[in-house]
Chains A and B, each alone.
Chain A
Amino acid sequence: MKEELEKNPQSTISSSQVFFIHVCCGLALAAGFWVAHHVYSLNLVFDPTKTLCLIWAIEFPVVILLFSCCRQKPEKCSYFTAIARGLLGLPVGALLNALGALALGAPVGLQYLEKTVNWSLLMSSFTFVPTACVYGSSWTDWRRIFACTKPNGPLEFMLCLPAHGAVIGAWFGAWPMPLDWERPWQVPSPPYNSLCLRIFVFTLSSYVSLSLMSKTGKDFSCYLCSFPCSNFAYLLDILFPFSILRTPFHL
């Protein structure tokens, strides 16, 4: 590990920075929910489109601005270039996320288009935008982080874990739940409602655990430890679907 660090001095990032970025992103997410719920009195179950729109509109500038600070090779790439890369990454990532959602069974149709677009923009700002800001279009880095999941260094962990958390959370959220409990969130074809709630639980937990880890321990293996923690948080989500689904975002 140390040798690698010496080789790639750019990729080091102090734990306070990691903590700061995570806390800011988490706060932006919480702020999005707060605004949606208290200012516009929206929630994900009954008006997913507008809520999602509001959340990504608040979340993604924060993500772009923060992650552009951590750009690779800062001597070659200015801050504004990084921001531009992030802006470009947003629609591209949204397209890929939307395709993934469609493949997993999201409904096709004009009436669902808005929902899908907003959802995939939000997903993109969790998954694509940070990496796009940091690495641009470097295929080797993308492949290492996403296709092979072999991140090294705190920066890559910081990019890799929340993105995977969001994707896995979304995948669990899209889990078919055709139960006849007559709840509005479990109608089978549009998986958005449950899906979105679950993504947030998952990403939030991964953010929180990451932030905690980066504050307390300085060893990078702690990042690995944090992953089971977020899994554990997700387990709670499965165990208490009602409490989790109905309460945390309605408080």
Chain B
Amino acid sequence: MAPLTCTKLSLITIVGVVTQIIGLSFFVFGFFPVKPTLPSTSGSESFYVPACDFVSNQSDTTLPSDQLKSSYQELSGIPPSFDRLILMIVDGLPAEFVLGKDGKPPNKQFKEAMPYTQSLLASGLAIGYHAKAAPPTVTMPRLKAMVSGAIGGFLDVAFNFNTQAMQDDNLLGQFFKIGWKMVMLGDETWLKLFPGLFKRHDGVSSFYVKDTVQVDQNVSRHLGDELSKDDWDLLILHYLGLDHVGHIGGRNSVLMAPKMKEMDEVVKLIHSSINQSQGNGQGRTLLMIVSDHGMTENGNHGGSTYEETDTLALFIGLRNHVFDYASVINQIDIAPTLALLFGVPIPKNNCGMNFPLYCLECDNAFLICIVLFNFPKMLSLEDSGNLTFTAMQKDKHLRALELNSWQLLRLLQAQLSGLPCRNFPCDAFYDHQSSGSTDCNHETEDMLCCLYMEATTLYTSWKSKRGFESASNKDYSSAAAAYYKFLKSASEWLSRRSTDKPVKLLALGLATMFVSTVILSSLMFCRLREIYHGGKQQSLNLNDSMNGWSLDETFILSVILILVSSMTSSSMVEEEHYIWYFLISTFYILLLRKTAQSLSAVRFQSSFFTQNGQSREGYFRMCFVFLLLTSGRVLRGWHQGGVNWTSLPDISKWLEQAGSQHVKSLQLISAFLVISIGLFALFSIESKGKCFQMVRLSFLISGLLVLLHITKYQDYTFSSTNYGATLLVQIIYAILGVATIGSVVALPWVIPFSTSKICPTDNTISPHFLSIHEKFPLVELRDSLYVIGWAYVLCWCLLQLLLQQPINTTPILLLLLQILAGTLYFARSGTHHKEWVEIAAFYYLGMAGHFALGNTNTLATIDVAGAFIGISSHSTLLSGILMFIITYASPMFILLSLVMYISMKNMAHLVIPEKAGPGDHLMMMLGFSCLVPLVINSILLTAYTVVLLLMQNHLFVWSVFSPKYLYVCATAVCTYIGIFIVAATGFYAYFVLDMRKQKPYSC
């Protein structure tokens, strides 16, 4: 096999990476599809039995709105119970705060914060539910679910910052069609979802997370005005403040109780206004208070824990209710319930089981709420005579159930092509015998069909016997029970089911990824063989560990296997950080053992060689390993992380309990240390060129500015959206950007060709090198890469100091120390480790650091608050980039520091072919640094793709495995970017220096 040339290597690598990206995108679009939704919107056809030929009568859309409204009422047979709706959304309010948990009342502090709401609940004027939200618990998908009843695709999270108009059938569209006037105050997400639907609106941005006061005042300031008007039918109030409070201070923030008090005042104001208007005969108004998602203990959301999915649905305006109710519903149930309450067709793609709350009117005197789970209890109440329904009410109830079943059946028909009762209305010869049997436990399709048929048959028989008082009661209850059974199983199936995935697309994506992994791995294997076996005769004089298969290599390889196998367990995905910490500290211990070996070897031989310098080297390396071990241990203890044991003590909790001044002082010390380490490295370079001075000066200035920002503005309990802070941060961004890019571009041009070395390596240039040195500026390349590497590291550190939460400043320092210790250790260890082992170890270090900064595999730990630092106007792209920088701080840090590592690594031992061109030399330096992370990343990516495919029917596929997959994809992107930067820097510096060398007069 012909040896790889530099061009060939880079071309094949690029091909491999591009293939991988293509395969990944195939897979992602195949696996996270937008659900097959039914197009168009429900019209009057939803009040008829599902037609067999799907030809819907579109004539009603042309009707004027008031005619449409009355036609709906006529067809549905259920007069609306209310005339107007006020939908108040309190963003991020967990139901636990209002209703308590597990039958216990809420926390005393929260209970006292909402006296009015609590009194309404106690007196039965309000009914509260725990509405279970589906992950991802982020605002936009949750709003969509509430108004359409459909569970959105998983990728809606990704679009959360890029809201688009909602195309699917939804409640607001239905209301608009029957001529409702709508007013929206609050989160401008609504305006983006429903452009042009609102008569009046005042949108507030959800992007300034630090603002907790103004954001709600902007909603409430219109409230008195709107409530006195009677020209609207739907009023939406979306309060964001509580979510912002959570993001800043968590559930137990000092601002939480006042914020809840404020919400309570709003409820009181609205309710008294409703009572007044009801007195004036302005129609009945329903006030519904919902929250879109909950929040974790730290105030984040996005995942699927109980704390995040536990949302509130509170109905106020019912005059009375007679019995207690099952208090847990699904969030998607809100849509069909509202649709039936207000007499509009149920949205087409609704999966909700439409009857969590259905109000029957009893003589207009009081309303009885029939709740799904308590239906048997209601029946028993009826039997005992406490409650009687007229035939009329029973009819309405069953009719509503029927409408609901039709809607779900339509959806089932669209999603299940093999549904046996698909053509039921047409195929009259469908086997009715099966419906008689009570055990409907066949395949999904058969079961759903069977349940539906049973319910329909019972309803028909009830209708036929309606006149006769005798059997009617029993028929009614069995019909209703049958309907509930069907609705429940259909709804569960629809909301849980993994949608039909395009198998071909998935297979193609997986195969492409597999091919790219094979390409990259074989490329690396070739390189390995060329370097370590191609020149066996030369390497005989080297340490024998170079040729053998040593313990650390085996370990590094087995890490990949361990990771892949542990990722198949959902618990191990949730608690992935343990495995990383464990493996990386084991690797450090192996390094310690290796150092001990060489240390004693030196002692052993010292009598022959008396090389004191080398024995000191051994002690230095020992110190570095100890530094790695201790800083790794502290990093491990910094954030508890994970999902299940987050409450265990850790250093960050301990510091936060100790008080903010301790956090602040620690932050300042760490920031100062980080900056001084970086500046020390830059200032210890002996060269005195103008360019160097510029680089030093700009980093010094930006370091000072960062310190200024920390002392002056970074106060993390209260808002700081002021102009000065933003301006300062923007100035820092600008200086950092100019300094880094400037040094990358300019340094290769201005670095002096001299004999003095900048880069502090123990580079004992071998005879091989000396010959090459004449035609190739190796030392200069290393020197410039060394300075550029430091510029990257310092720039990244300063950015992180600015963006990360104050508590994460010390981990940044520790990470920097780890990188330095690792680089110095490997630079001094020379031939003891193979280069790919070292780079793989760096990659693992980066992943362990990723978790040490408090990241987990749930979407909840992404730091949203930091993503708006220094952004003056709302920009999705910029916030997204900042969020990426914060989340992938550690892996990116490692990849950037590879530039420094390359410059410091002793390459003297590498066997260079006799006829080595300069390109080969570049390949020698950059080859592994680029290949190893790409190979590891592609193996993990492909393996995890397989895991995700295997787990697609797992219970936790959407809550555990899919978020993890998003993280894996983002890690892949991070690796591509980092490797691109490393490679581009290396190539650029090399070509510039080569050009200068060939034309020395131009310098």
Compute how far the CA of A139 lies from the CA of B618 in the bound complex, rounded to whole angstroms: 15
B844 to chain A, nearest CB (A): 15
User: In this assembly, does A110 line the interface, its C-beta being within 8 Å of a C-beta of chain B?
Assistant: no
**A residues 137-155 in Cβ contact with B at 8 Å:** 139-140, 143, 146-148
* Residue B597 at the chain A interface, CB threshold 8 Å: yes
Is B582 interfacial (CB 8 A cutoff)?
yes
Q: Is the C-beta of B454 less than 8 angstroms from some C-beta in chain A?
A: no
**Interface segment out of the listed B305-313, B407-415, B629-637, B971-979:** B629-637
> Which residues does chain B contribute within 8 Å of A139, judged by CB atoms?
600, 603
Q: Which of B571, B586, B629, B637 contacts A180 (CB 8 A)?
A: B571
A105 touches B581 (CB 8 A): yes
In the bound assembly, the distance between CA atoms of A129 and B638 in angstroms comes to: 35
Interface string of B619-633 (1 = CB under 8 A from A): 000000000010011
Cβ contact of B585, chosen from A105, A148, A178, A180, cutoff 8 A: A105
Partner of B569, one of A104, A146, A179: A179
A103 x B589 contact (CB < 8 A): yes
Give residues of chain A (187-222) contacting chain B, Cβ–Cβ below 8 Å. Answer: 187-189
Known contacts: A176-B575, A178-B574, A189-B648. The answer to whether A140 contacts B582 by CB under 8 A is: no
A171 CA / B586 CA spacing, docked (Å)? 9
Contact among A103, A140, A171, A179 for B632, CB-based, below 8 A: A103
From known contacts A104-B585, A105-B636, infer whether A176 and B600 are also in contact, taking CB-CB under 8 Å: no
B571 touches A140 (CB 8 A): no
Provide the bound-state CA to CA distance between A174 and B589, in Å: 14
Residues of chain B within 8 A of A175, CB atoms compared: 582
Closest to A178 in B: B575
What residues on B are CB-neighbors of A31 within 8 Å?
Answer: none
Assuming the contacts A176-B579, A178-B642, asked whether A102 and B633 have C-beta atoms less than 8 A apart, the reply is: yes
A178 near B600 with CB under 8 A, answer no
A108 to B654, CA, bound (A): 13
From A102, A143, A176, A187, contact of B582 by CB (8 A): A176
Residue of B nearest to A186 (CB): B571
- Contact between A178 and B644, CB atoms less than 8 A apart: yes
Q: Which residue of B lies closest to A143 (CB)?
A: B600
What residues of chain B lie closer than 8 Å to A176, measured between beta carbons? 575, 578-579, 581-582
B949 at the A interface (CB under 8 A)? no
Closest chain-A Cβ to B203's Cβ sits at a distance in Å of 43
Kindly provide the distance from the CB of A142 to the nearest chain B CB, expressed in whole angstroms.
Answer: 8
User: Do B585 and A147 have beta carbons less than 8 Å apart?
Assistant: no
> What residues of chain A lie closer than 8 Å to B569, measured between beta carbons?
179
Residue total for B at the interface (Cβ-Cβ under 8 A): 29
In which size bucket is the chain A interface? 20 to 34
Across the interface, name the chain A residue whose C-beta is closest to B569.
Answer: A179
Q: Is the CB of B582 within 8 A of A178?
A: no
Complex interface: chain B residues within 8 A of A241 (CB): none
Take A178-B574, A178-B642, A180-B644 as given contacts and tell me if A104 and B582 are in contact as well, using a CB distance cutoff of 8 Å: yes
* A100 at interface by CB-CB < 8 Å: yes
- The 8 A CB mask of B557-589 against A (1 = contact, 0 = none) is 000000000000101101100110110011011
In angstroms, Cα B562 to Cα A175, docked, is 11
Partner of B604, one of A100, A105, A140, A171: A140
Whether a CB of chain A sits under 8 angstroms from the CB of B616 is: no
Q: Does B596 make an interface contact (CB < 8 A)?
A: yes
Least Cβ–Cβ distance between A71 and chain B, in angstroms? 22
Q: How far is the CB of B748 from chain A (nearest CB, A)?
A: 41
A226 to chain B, nearest CB (A): 21
Which residues does chain B contribute within 8 Å of A143, judged by CB atoms? 596-597, 600-601, 604
* Contact partner, B586, options A104, A108, A140, Cβ 8 Å: A104
Residues in B with CB closer than 8 Å to A103 are 585, 588-589, 629, 632-633
Given the known A-B contacts A102-B633, A104-B586, are A179 and B603 also in contact in the complex, defined by CB atoms under 8 Å?
A: no
B645 at interface, CB cutoff 8 A: yes
Q: For residue B581, which residues in chain A have a CB less than 8 angstroms away from its CB?
A: 105, 176
Residues A188 and B597 in contact, CB atoms below 8 Å apart: no
Closest to A187 in B: B645
B574 surroundings in chain A (CB, below 8 A): 178
Find out whether the CB atom of B578 lies under 8 angstroms from the CB atom of A174.
no
| Known contacts A105-B636, A148-B597; is-contact A178 B645 (Cβ 8 Å) | yes
- Bound CA–CA A188/B571 (angstroms): 12
Separation of A102 and B586 alpha carbons in the complex (Å): 11
Nearest neighbor of B583 in chain A, beta-carbon distance: A176
Contact mask A47-67 → B, CB, 8 Å, 1/0? Answer: 000000000000000000000
Whole-angstrom CA separation of A171 from B562 in the bound complex: 14
Measured CA separation A155–B636 after assembly (Å) = 40
Determine which residue in A105, A140, A148 has the highest number of CB atoms from chain B within 10 A of its CB, and name it.
A105
B536: A residues at CB distance < 8 A: none
Closest A residue by C-beta to B578: A176
Nearest-neighbor residue (CB-CB) of B651 within chain A:
A108
If A147-B600, A178-B578 touch, does A108 touch B589 (CB 8 Å cutoff)?
no
Residues of chain B in range 622-680 having any CB-CB distance to chain A below 8 Å: 629, 632-633, 636-637, 642, 644-645, 648
Complex: how many Å from CA A175 to CA B586? 11
Q: Which residue of B lies closest to A171 (CB)?
A: B586
CA distance A189 to B642 in the complex (A): 12
The answer to whether the Cβ of B501 comes within 8 Å of any Cβ in the partner chain is no
Assembly CA distance A143 to B644 (angstroms): 43
The answer, yes or no, to whether B593 is at the interface (CB within 8 Å) is: yes
Quick check: B596 and A147 within 8 Å, CB to CB?
yes
Nearest B residue to A99 via CB reads: B629
Contacts of B600 on A, CB cut-off 8 Å? Answer: 139-140, 143, 147
Which of B571, B593, B604 meets A178, CB within 8 Å? B571
Residues of A bordering B, CB below 8 Å = 100, 102-105, 108, 139-140, 143, 146-148, 171, 174-176, 178-180, 187-189
Other than A105-B578, A178-B572, give 15 A-B pairs with Cβ distance below 8 A: A100-B589, A103-B585, A104-B589, A105-B633, A143-B600, A143-B601, A147-B600, A171-B586, A178-B644, A179-B571, A179-B572, A180-B644, A187-B645, A188-B578, A189-B645
Residue positions of B touching A, CB distance < 8 A: 569, 571-572, 574-575, 578-579, 581-582, 585-586, 588-589, 593, 596-597, 600-601, 603-604, 629, 632-633, 636-637, 642, 644-645, 648
A-B pairs, top 3 by smallest CB distance, nearest first, are A176-B578, A178-B575, A143-B600
27 examples of A-B residue contacts, CB within 8 angstroms = A102-B633, A103-B588, A103-B629, A104-B582, A104-B585, A104-B586, A105-B581, A105-B582, A105-B585, A105-B636, A140-B600, A140-B604, A146-B596, A147-B593, A147-B597, A176-B575, A176-B579, A176-B581, A178-B578, A178-B642, A178-B644, A179-B571, A180-B571, A180-B644, A187-B645, A188-B578, A189-B648
